[in-house]
Amino acid sequence: MTSAPFDDPHLDAAWRAYAGLDRQLAPGPELEHLVLARCRAIPAPAPRRQRRVVFALAAAAAGAALALTARAWPPLAPVPAPIAARAMAVVGYPPPVASRPLRRKAMPPPAARAAGLMNAGVPRVELPAALMLFDAAPVQLSEPLQMVRLRLPREALQALGLALLEPDAGGVVDVDVLVGEDGLPRDIRQVRMGREQRQ
């Protein structure tokens, strides 16, 4: 018997009618075949003790793998040099200026600039705005590029095939080298800096 939740006899009769129909509800016989077939497809669950042993073995294996990985760190294979180092090796001259952050200084007064004192005493090299280096692969727009700032002796520029106005003047030139993904330079351009920055 189900309990009727209503005091009203009409509602009580309605509830009993509903409960009577509900008691007749039953799934079709094909559902039993489906359920039992699915249960048959499930592998029998392992006993708890056996499961514990499996978990313990898995945990031990994972621990051993972690220990071996930690031992092999750092990896024995040499770490590839950063792209800037490879570029410097190609150009043939050490330290990149960009490793030290450039400090912006106050601009000289307009009168000094007008007098051309900014570069006084420093041998000058005039480079085009951008120069494609010889033997360099053409720049692909999709290629990831990196700009490296270097300070090169003037002779290095001469070695690159550039004609110098004053070959025996000595001195250095700040350049930006566009380096490709393979570490080889693609382009080079002169950096025009103030006098203080040169020092």
Partner 1 sequence: MSDSSRPDSPDPALLGRAVAGDQDAFAEIYQRYHQVVYRFGCAMTGSEPAAEDITQEAFVALFRELSRYDPNRAAFTTYLYGIVRNLSRERLRRERRFLSLDVLGSRIEAASYTPDPSGAMADAELASQVRRTLGQLPARYRELIVLCDLHGLSYADTAVVVNISIAAVRSRLHRGRQILRRQLTRIASPAVRRAGHPERCAI
Q: What is the CA radius of gyration of the chain?
A: 41
DSSP state of 76: S
User: Which residues here bind partner 1, judged by CB under 8 A?
Assistant: 1-6, 8-11, 13-15, 17-28, 31-32, 34-36, 38-40, 42, 44-45, 48
Of the pair 46, 132, the CB lying nearest partner 1 is at 46
- Contacts of residue 199, Cβ cutoff 8 Å, sequence gap at least 6: none
In the complex with partner 1, which residue's Cβ is closer, 15 or 93? 15
Neighbouring-strand partners of residue 131: 188
As measured in angstroms, the least distance from the Cβ of 33 to partner 1 is 10
Q: How far is the CB of 54 from partner 1 (least distance, A)?
A: 15
Would you state the structure tokens that stand for residue 172, as one six-digit string?
């250095």
Phi then psi for 118, rounded to 5 degrees? -60, -40
In whole angstroms, the minimum distance from the beta carbon of 8 to partner 1 comes to: 8
- Using DSSP's 3-state secondary structure scheme, residue 150 falls into strand
- CB closer to partner 1, 7 vs 168: 7
